[in-house]
Chain A
Amino acid sequence: MPLIQLDDIHHTYADNGRPVSALSGVSLSIEAGEFVAIVGPSGSGKSTLLNIIGTLESPSRGVYRFDGTSVSDMSGRERAQLRASRIGFVFQNFNLIDHLTVFENIRLGLRYRREPVKNEHERVLSAMDRVGLAHRADHLPRELSGGQQQRCAIARAIVGDPQIVLADEPTGSLDSQNAAQVLGILTELNSRGTTLVIVTHAPSQADRAGRVVEMHDGRIHLSTRRLA
């Protein structure tokens, strides 16, 4: 059973009262442990697709199953719980909370789980260690470099051991050296079994994915699986 199963997904939003179609009949299946890169020009629907996979937005039409369970039938509270326990997010502009320290930002990844979290402190420390930020625990985001901020965001995404990490242009705001480091962490994460979906403009990053999904005008134009 695929981890992610999208069937005939449509998504429309209103722009100044006029309906705009962001996705038109997208069907996609992602197996657990896959590394999928979504590429395409601006406005092709990549981020909308990622948001729907992450349950941040609901499709206007179509069926979305996460690990066999219909997301469309879930309440807002259940979708929030799904995000808290099984999905991790990494954004282009990091989205760290300014007034929280690195440690606190990372701990936020466990904050909204409904079940009690064992060894919370150790898990946060371990996540920090994995991204090489153990020495920056008490720093505020503004005291970190761009690369460090994104590593902090990755630590927050993985602290809860999610089944899937969704990354929306994770290296878009970084220089090449930091971008390589961040991509290395994500790839290493995937190699340990975490499903990874990234939206990217960079061909070099797409090349490292197991599958590349190319989008145009809200549709999947091409889905290419790389040979191992």
Chain B
Amino acid sequence: MKNARHDFGLLFRSVARRWGVYALMMAGTGLALTLTLIVGLFIHSELSFDRFIRGSDRVYLVSALYGLENKPLVGSDITPAGVARWMRADMAEARQVTRLSPVEWPLSTPRRIARERFFWADPNLFEVLDLPAVAGDLKTALRARDSIVMTQRMARAYFGDQNPLGRSLTTRDNRRLRVTAILRDFPANTHLDRELFVSGGYPYSVLSLHDANPTYLWSICYTYVKLRSDVGPEAVARQLTRLTHQNWQGPNNIPVSYELIALKDLHLHERGDLQMKARGHVDTLLALALVAVVILLIACANYAGLVLAETDERGAEMGLLSALGAGRAHLLATVLRESLIVHLLSLLLALALTERLLPHLNHSLNLDLRLWSAPPGLMGLMLLLTVALALLSALLPAIIVTAPSPVRRARMRTRPPQRWQGWVIAQFTLVISLLIAAQVVSRQWDYALDSAPGFDGQHVAIVDLSDNPWINRAFLNEIRQLKGVDSVAQAFGAPTSNFVRPALVRGKDGRLLSFTRTSVSPEFLGVYGIPLRAGRNLDHTFSEVVAPKDILINETAVRALGFASPREALGHVLGYETDRTHMQSRIIGVVPDIRFSTVHYATPPMMIDGFDRFFTHFSIRVKPSNEAETLRQIDQIWLRHTGGTEPIERQGFRDYLRSQYHDLHQQVAVSRLVAGVAILLSALGLMGLCVFLTRHQSRELAIRKALGAHFGDLLLYRIRPFLLPLLIANIAAWPLAGLVLQQWLETFAAHMTLTPLPFVQASLVTSASALGAILLHAMWSNRRVRIAFLRQDV
């Protein structure tokens, strides 16, 4: 205790004397610890997805696996509607099975009217998903057909208070839903993407519809199962495959098998179709952890470099203490204790910085990272890490400054700069690699938004259709008359929305091909500026449940069907199986491979018909002049036709696209943050190294100054030792980053081409920041190149 007080006293006096060096030390270490803390919080959040659901290790999402002719199986988070029914009836191993079906309907209270996203839920939902409740009895909450359960946040939004038990919301058909229970707010790290649960017994719910019609198989339906403790998920999946084959009454696209994914593992499970939220990736977490470790090592070496810069003064101090009888162990302990104090102060700085940064990070990345509610284990780990870092950082300098012989000490400290060139190379290799990575991730993001879609989405607004066809028709007719509207189309989903329907097509050689179907109005090609490769456009829409007479196909479909050219496919009659029927349609036109899914998926063979019952969105091309006024008029027309009962859901096409790429957006932000911190740290480290070198070169710089060297000459002299390490770092970083990033790009079905530009830019930025740091230090220290050094003894 006495020693610690003494060290604090010494440290504060030392800080006051050399505040610049200590500011660099704490800034560098604090920055590295901040990044590590944020990475730690993020990894913890990713690893604890859905852990707030009690028993998340024994509750499974049933994933259906599809595939053709030994191709890799593709998982889907939704299952055929019959799965829950078959399991309940014939599978004793499943203790409880429950379903959720997502829906979007207008809901209202006097306080709020919204086109709300909620789930139809089986009454036993909360016996499977054990969610924390704050009011009501979850066991019985969804039994009544008109019951609704919501989170505290939604309760506040609709009623203004957190416990509106017994109060009602009104649905679009003027029925009432009674609030029967309130759930504690969900954390952001859950796969559930909506916070209202309406009883599946509601007369118009999809679940009721399926229960009443056992032959209906297809709808978006998530199936959860809680297993008996003596049963494994693999055995249940195998049994479910058998049950499916026994009960299947539909056409060919039967799931090949199933996989039961424990909720605690769902977020990091490999990508599946129709997932509620974008999944995380173990590789990303490993890469982040690795980057954090490397950043800590950089900070560690930077600290060591700065302490070594103080070697002269510290060596003299240690020599004096040694002369007064202090043993080497005591001297080592003194340096290490000082390092510990500096690192603990840096940790405090990191905590404060993290606290300030998290709200911005959470907002921009849609996260919910919280510092003070982090588990004690994580904070303990940070503390341990800080102590380890303190010891590691100070070990080499401590050994040098406490070296018993002044001659040996001098020899050890006069070895730079050669000794440090290796470190500079390693540090800049990392920084250049991270900058290249940040550039490439950003470019892939731009590619996904601008180039990948294959059509012109500028000045296109997307508006969700109403459930009322009369409103849609009236709205469509009126907005077409607006001067500011260029053209309007309707479609099933919007491009890149993953809204597709399957169809199995028999190819010319008899092979079964998996196609996707979508439906658009004839204006669709015009709105998005999509040219025809061959043939003609659709000329009408239809509503009858019959096979569409005419269809368009894309170029991938032309190749898959074995036609030599788009023109050759024209007039061919295509036979195919949909979910319920066999159909035949004539190919009248071929379009390019426009993207109806995100870049994570390859463009499939596709057929496009004009079946208007599937339309879900308007696509409105607005004239660029006076765009804001036209959009305001569109909103007013919607309001007039809906009477305010249904708020308009409108967004610009680019915003719509951005929402489709949330996971990629996170990667862009994280890579930029990491690269930014790395470059800042390297600049700080370089400044430290400059301080170090300047101390060693002060006499030489003064000699050169006396001989007529001016600032520019001395700057060149300081820069020269860094040029070769910079060059070597570039040579090392380019292939390293290129290899890793090419592998990352391969995880996308469609990706940008890796060009030299991001590499060149990263090298230029790194070189500029390095030279900038040296210049800054040179300017700062130029006045310190004093002639007094010429009077010092050698």
Interface set of A (CB-CB < 8 Å, partner B): 47, 51, 54, 56-57, 76-77, 80-85, 89, 91-98, 108-109, 111-113, 156, 168
Is there contact, CB below 8 Å, between B709 and A80?
yes
Residues of A within 8 A of B712 (CB): 77
Which one, B702, B705, B793, B794, contacts A80 given CB within 8 A?
Answer: B705
CA distance A91 to B713 in the complex (A): 22
> When the two chains form their complex, are residues A93 and B710 in contact, meaning their CB atoms are under 8 A apart?
no
Cα of A84 to Cα of B713 in the assembled complex, Å: 12
Q: Which of B278-286, B545-553, B784-792 is found at the contact surface with chain A?
A: B784-792
Choose among A54, A81, A113 the residue that contacts B706 (Cβ–Cβ < 8 A): A54
CB distance from A46 to the nearest CB of B (A): 12
Question: Does chain A have a CB within 8 A of B380?
Answer: no
Q: Which residues of B contact A82 (CB under 8 A)?
A: 708
* Complex-state Cα separation, A205 to B708, whole angstroms: 28
A47 touches B708 (CB 8 A): no
Known: A91-B791, A111-B704, A112-B708. 18 other contacts (CB 8 A): A54-B706, A77-B712, A80-B705, A80-B708, A84-B709, A85-B708, A89-B706, A93-B790, A93-B794, A95-B699, A95-B702, A97-B700, A108-B703, A109-B707, A111-B707, A112-B710, A112-B713, A168-B790
Bound together, the chains give a CA A71 to CA B711 distance in angstroms of 18
Interchain nearest-CB distance for A44 vs B (Å): 15
Chain B residue nearest in CB terms to A100: B700
Return the contact of B704 from the options A77, A93, A96, A108 (Cβ within 8 A): A108
Closest-by-CB residue of B relative to A80 is: B710
CB-CB under 8 A from A93, the residues of chain B are 790-794
Known A95-B699, A97-B700, A112-B713: A47·B791 in contact at CB below 8 Å: yes
When distances are taken between beta carbons in the complex, the residues of chain B under 8 Å from A81 are: 708, 710
- List B residues 704-747 near A (Cβ within 8 Å): 704-713
CA distance A190 to B648 in the complex (A): 97
B709 partner residues in chain A, CB cutoff 8 A:
80, 84, 111-112
CB neighbours (8 Å) of A47 from chain B are 791
Q: In the complex, which of the residues B700, B711, B790 contacts A76, with contact meaning CB atoms closer than 8 Å?
A: B711
Residues of A within 8 A of B792 (CB): 93
Residues of B within 8 A of A (CB): 699-700, 702-713, 787, 790-794
Complex Cα gap A94–B794 (Å): 9
Residues of B contacting A95 in the complex (Cβ-Cβ under 8 angstroms): 699, 702-703, 706, 790
CB–CB A56/B706 < 8 A: yes
Nearest B residue to A56, CB-CB: B787
Do residues A83 and B707 form an inter-chain contact, with CB atoms below 8 A?
A: yes
Q: How far is the CA of A91 from the CA of B706 in the complex (A)?
A: 11
> Shortest distance in angstroms between A43's beta carbon and chain B's nearest beta carbon?
13
**Cβ contacts A to B, 28 pairs, < 8 Å:** A54-B706, A57-B787, A76-B710, A77-B710, A80-B705, A80-B713, A83-B706, A83-B708, A84-B708, A85-B708, A89-B706, A92-B791, A93-B791, A93-B794, A95-B702, A95-B703, A95-B706, A96-B703, A98-B794, A108-B703, A111-B704, A111-B708, A111-B709, A112-B707, A112-B709, A112-B710, A112-B713, A113-B708
Q: A91-B790, A92-B791 are in contact. Are A112 and B704 (CB under 8 A)?
A: yes
Cα A130 to Cα B540 in complex, Å, equals: 105
- Give the docked Cα–Cα distance between A98 and B791 (Å): 16
Min C-beta distance of A221 to chain B, whole Å: 23
Chain A residues with Cβ below 8 Å from B704 are 108, 111-112
Shortest beta-carbon distance, A168 to chain B, in Å? 8
Residues of A within 8 A of B787 (CB): 51, 56-57
Give the complex CA separation of A94 and B790 in angstroms. 9
Of B700, B711, B790, most buried by chain A (CB within 10 Å of CB) is B790
**Of A51, A89, A98, the contact of B707 (CB 8 Å cutoff):** A89
* Distance to closest chain A CB from B712 (angstroms): 8
C-alpha gap A54/B706 in the complex (Å):
8
> How far apart are the CA atoms of A98 and B702 in the complex, in Å?
14
Q: In the complex, which residues of chain B have a beta carbon less than 8 angstroms from the beta carbon of A109?
A: 707
Measured in the bound complex, the distance between the Cα atoms of B702 and A51 in whole Å is 12
**Which of A56, A92, A109: most chain B CB closer than 10 A?**
A56
Report the separation of the CA atoms of residues A56 and B790 in the bound assembly, to the nearest whole angstrom: 11
CB nearest to B708 among chain A residues: A84
Which has the most chain A C-beta neighbours within 10 Å: B699, B708, B713, B791?
B708
- Rounded to whole Å, the gap between the CB of B413 and the closest CB of chain A is 14
Please indicate the chain B residues that have their CB under 8 angstroms from the CB of A98 in the complex. 794
Closest Cβ–Cβ distance, residue B429 to chain A (whole Å) = 28
A15 to chain B, nearest CB (A): 12
Given A56-B787, A77-B710, also A97-B794 (CB < 8 A)? no
The distance in angstroms between the C-alpha atoms of A82 and B791, with both chains bound, is 22
In the complex the two chains form, what is the Cα distance from A57 to B705 in whole Å? 11
Cβ of A91: which chain B residues have Cβ within 8 Å of it? 790-791
Least Cβ–Cβ distance between B715 and chain A, in angstroms: 13
Complex: A92 Cα to B790 Cα, angstroms? 9
- Shortest CB-to-CB span from B784 to chain A, Å, is 14
Known: A47-B791, A93-B791, A93-B793. A56 touches B705 (CB 8 A): yes
Say whether A156 contacts B707, CB under 8 Å: yes
Q: Which residues from A are CB-within-8-Å of B706? A: 54, 56, 83, 89, 95
Complex alpha-carbon distance, A113 and B709, angstroms: 9
Complex formed: what's the CA distance from A91 to B702 in Å? Answer: 12
**Bound: A5/B470 CA distance, A:** 101
CB distance from A60 to the nearest CB of B (A): 15
Bound Cα distance A84, B704 (Å): 10
Measured between beta carbons, the chain B residues less than 8 angstroms from A96 are 703
Q: Min CB distance, B705 to chain A, in Å?
A: 7
How far does the alpha carbon of A92 sit from the alpha carbon of B549 in the complex, in Å? Answer: 104
Taking CB atoms, residues of chain A closer than 8 Å to B710 are 76-77, 80-81, 112
Assembly CA distance A97 to B789 (angstroms): 13
**CB closest residue in chain B, given A141:** B794
Contacts of A85 in B (CB 8 A): 708
In whole angstroms, how far apart are the Cα atoms of A195 and B710 in the complex? 24
**Whole-angstrom CA separation of A53 from B708 in the bound complex:** 14
Contacts of A108 in B (CB 8 A): 703-704, 707
Which residues on B sit within 8 Å (CB–CB) of A92? 791
Instruction: List 5 tightest A-B contacts by C-beta distance, closest first.
Output: A84-B708, A112-B708, A80-B710, A83-B708, A56-B787
Measured CA separation A85–B707 after assembly (Å):
9
Point out the residues of chain B lying under 8 angstroms from A89, CB to CB.
Answer: 706-707
* B703 partner, pick from A54, A97, A113, A168, beta carbons under 8 A: A97
Residues of A within 8 A of B707 (CB): 83-84, 89, 108-109, 111-112, 156
What is the bound-complex CA distance between A82 and B708, given in angstroms?
Answer: 7
**What CA separation (Å) do A85 and B792 show in the bound complex?**
25
* CB nearest to A113 among chain B residues: B708
A109 CB → nearest B CB, Å = 6
Residue of B nearest to A153 (CB): B703
Closest CB of chain A to B714's CB: distance in Å? 10
A84 to B711, CA, bound (A): 13
- B705 contacts which chain A residues (CB < 8 A)? 56, 80
Instruction: Report chain B residues within 8 Å CB of A168.
Output: 790-791
Closest to B699 in A: A95
Shortest Cβ distance from A84 into B: residue: B708
A56: chain B residues at CB < 8 Å are 705-706, 787
Closest A residue, CB atoms, query B700 = A97
Q: In the complex, what residues of B have CB within 8 A of residue A83's CB? A: 706-708
Distance to closest chain A CB from B411 (angstroms): 13
Chain B residue nearest to A86 in the complex (CB): B708
Kindly state the separation between the CA atoms of A54 and B705 in the bound complex, as whole angstroms: 11
CB-nearest residue of chain B to A51: B787
Q: List the A side residues contacting B700 at CB < 8 Å.
A: 97
Task: Give the chain B neighbours of A57 by CB distance below 8 A.
Answer: 787
What is the bound-complex CA distance between A108 and B706, given in angstroms?
11
Q: How far is the CB of A103 from chain B (nearest CB, A)?
A: 15
Residue in B closest to A111 when the chains form the complex, CB atoms: B707
Q: Which residues of B contact A111 (CB under 8 A)?
A: 704, 707-709
Report the nearest B residue to A82, measured CB to CB. B708
Question: Within 8 Å CB of B794, what residues of A?
Answer: 93-94, 98
A109, closest chain B residue (CB): B707
For the complex formed, measure the closest distance between the CB of B453 and the CB atoms of chain A, giving whole angstroms: 58
| Bound-complex Cα distance A95 to B703 (A) | 7
